[in-house]
Amino acid sequence: MTAFLLIWSPRKWPWPDLPEVCDAFVRAKAQKQLVIDSWGCGFSRSLMAGDRIFIHRVAKEPKGLFASGWVTRAPYEVPDAARKRGYRLCIDFSYDWVVDGHQEVVVTRDELRAHPFSVQTWDAQTSGNVIKPMVEGALEKLWAERTSGRRGSPTALGAMVTAAQAPG
């Protein structure tokens, strides 16, 4: 499994419905359901279903990681006339943890400046960067401590996605 960094800059996109996403996540988690979302992944075509993602708030405080999940659909092209190439790449993913990044983060940007996290480039301009393996393990451990270990697994996720996609 590989972990990737997704970037959210409130200066570029204010994400006014993030509190509703958080509420939907809490309700879905209680019913053992998924909240699926989509995200631009820059130029990266490396993300695959089952890969881990973390979302990092940049540009404005509070800066840091505030959401995590699992890729459910590899990169696909979405028409975008504003882009030079005429499209942007997106992934679909399910949250396994999310807090309102307008108000709080799980791991602060200052904490990410300390070893072993400091070897990673956190303030990337685009999403889809690989989280280095030496950082990934330490990040997963800290993330589990901060979120009380409440996360799904790619195996359980695959079963739920398959069940959700089955014809009714």
Q: Taking the domains of the chain in order of start, what are their residue ranges? A: 3-165
pLDDT of 61 higher than 60: yes
Q: What is the number of helices (H) and of strands (E) in the chain?
A: 4, 7
Q: What is the predicted pLDDT for the residue at 1?
A: 77
pLDDT tens, residue by residue, 152-166: 555 445 444 444 444
The mean predicted confidence, pLDDT, of the chain is: 90
pLDDT single digits (tens) 19-55:
999 999 999 999 999 999 999 999 999 999 999 999 9
pLDDT at 104 exceeding the cut of 90 = yes
**pLDDT value for 151:** 52
Fold of 3-165: ph1033 like fold (3.10.590)
Locate 58 and state its tokens.
């940049």
10 Å CB burial of residue 24 (0-12, 13-18, 19+) is middle
CA–CA separation, 55 vs 129, rounded Å? 11
Write phi, then psi, for 95 (nearest 5 degrees).
-75, 140
User: Percentage of the chain with pLDDT > 70?
Assistant: 88
Confidence (pTM): 0.88
User: Which residue would you say has higher pLDDT here, 161 or 17?
Assistant: 17
CA–CA separation, 76 and 97 (whole Å)? 24
**pLDDT(167) > 80:** no
Non-local (6+) Cβ contacts of 10 within 8 A are 57, 59, 60, 102
Q: Which pairs count as long-range contacts for 22-25, CB under 8 Å and 24+ apart, including other chains?
A: 22/98, 22/99, 22/100, 25/95, 25/97, 25/98
State the Cα–Cα distance between residues 102 and 14, nearest whole angstrom.
Answer: 9
